[in-house]
Amino acid sequence: MTKTCSKNCVDFINDEHLNGLVASATEEPTRVREIIAKSMNKEPLTVEETASLLAAESEPLVEEIFEAARDLKRQVYGNRIVIFAPLYIGNHCINDCKYCAFRRSLRTTVRKTLSEDELEDQVVALEDSGHKRLILVFGEHPDYSPEFIARSVRNVYAIKSGRGEIRRVNINAAPMDHDGYKIVKSAGIGTYQIFQETYHHQTYREVHPPNTCKGDYLYRLDGLTRAYEAGCDDVGIGALFGLYDWRFEVLGLVTHAWHLVERFGCGPHTISFPRLRPAHGVTIDSRYLVNDRDFKRLVAILRLAVPYTGMILTAREPQDIRREVMEFGVSQIDAGTRIELAGYTDKGEQKLDREQFEIGDTRSLDEIMLDLMQHDYVPSFCTSCYRKGRTGEHFMEFAIPGFIENFCTPNAMFTLAEYLEDYASDESKTVGTALIQRQLKSLSPKRQAMAKEHLDKIIIQGQRDVYL
């Protein structure tokens, strides 16, 4: 873990301005429709325009926002859903966040850091189920230094089980200084993810004690700016909804995205929007909990406000909410998730004293794959953009409809075909094979012929890791 002074960090969040936008915006149907039209042209919305969407409360207008988000998602991302799994490496932590079961003052939480042998066991279990993409999660603790994180990443990449392999490792860890990011980047990571948790200064102070590393609001806010400066051009932002007014947090996320665009010409690769969940030893303040209707609204509005970004819906949510919210713009989900340390080799019940929070969707990877395919989504384990250098500014340029047909849809089919051949249940294989055939028909004749050729390499010739 590395830490430097935050005195040179830029505070680009103006609480008074954002709260003023929330309080003063009124529902204006004509204005909302103008803003929707702008978003449908793949133009990011300003913070003020986003506030106008947040002010829409009437059911007919909210339905127009939902429908626009559905359409935009289909245009930018097609019907693909990228699949990943979180892997907790260690839950020791020097912070004392009031909403977290890993906080240092909670003595009843079981603490653990995976040994290299235990790490291998977890990765083998994930590979044997079919996973190709992981996000490694670390507590904020001196033991989890940049060198330790980089070594963990390299170890994960080196582990192979049968035809299984992890092709992309993303990171969720503490903010670092520039040298720390460079060390982690050198290990070949994908996205570096830091959640601000809440963008509201006073709330941030209330839930993050000042005598902790995480108590430094500006150092955390500047974390991804330093990551960009250190050469990490693929970053993810997020807020924990339920700590403060959800409308303010949406505006905070959009403000953060614009800050990165204005500084580096590139916004966040992903935005996450988890809701507070029950957790061991945690008492939840219910004042700002987000109901299901408003949760759907915030997902749809974020899709319209930041059309180029991937949106991550996690297993915090139960399966019925995940299925419903997914259509409003979600492009990535985790599946077969276990978040207790060493959980992927322990098939028993959830153990809340070993988890950061309680998850809502406990289905296996194959169960989720089958459900997605039955609802005409194409589950994708694709990592080609990372390995072809289509990240950062290049990814924003590619986030257009033509990119879907040329790269994303074929690559999604290729990784799905691998899963169906190597790991799927009989039912999933039957449903998935039919889905691939339908997807082929949606491609242009040239792309269809190319895709069939690559699918033959996978299914008939037994090749793996085929991508464009």
Query: What does the alpha-carbon distance between residue 106 and residue 344 come to, in Å, rounded to a whole number?
Result: 24
Q: Is residue 10 part of a domain?
A: no
Residues 214 and 270 in one domain: yes
Residues 184 and 59 in one domain: no
- Is 146 a residue whose pLDDT tops 60? yes
Q: Which amino acid is at 427?
A: E
Residues 223 and 171 in one domain: yes
Q: Which residue has the higher pLDDT, 339 or 305?
A: 305
Percent of the chain with pLDDT over 90: 79
Q: Which pLDDT value is given to residue 399?
A: 55
CATH assignment at residue 280:
3.20.20.70
Residues 122 and 49 in one domain: no
Residues 68 and 121 in one domain: no
**pLDDT tier, 76 (very low <50, low <70, confident <90, very high otherwise):** confident
Q: Is residue 45 part of a domain?
A: yes
Task: Give the pLDDT confidence of 231-270 residue by residue, as tens digits.
Answer: 998 999 999 999 999 999 999 999 999 999 999 999 999 9
Q: Is residue 371 part of a domain?
A: no
Domain of residue 35: give its range.
18-72
Query: What does the alpha-carbon distance between residue 263 and residue 197 come to, in Å, rounded to a whole number?
Result: 22
Q: Is residue 388 part of a domain?
A: no
Q: Which pLDDT value is given to residue 101?
A: 87
Q: Is residue 265 part of a domain?
A: yes
Task: Give the pLDDT confidence of 389-444 residue by residue, as tens digits.
Answer: 666 555 555 555 545 557 788 999 999 999 999 999 999 999 999 999 999 998 88
* Counted domains in the chain: 3
Task: Give the pLDDT confidence of 30-66 residue by residue, as tens digits.
Answer: 999 999 999 999 999 999 999 999 999 999 999 999 9
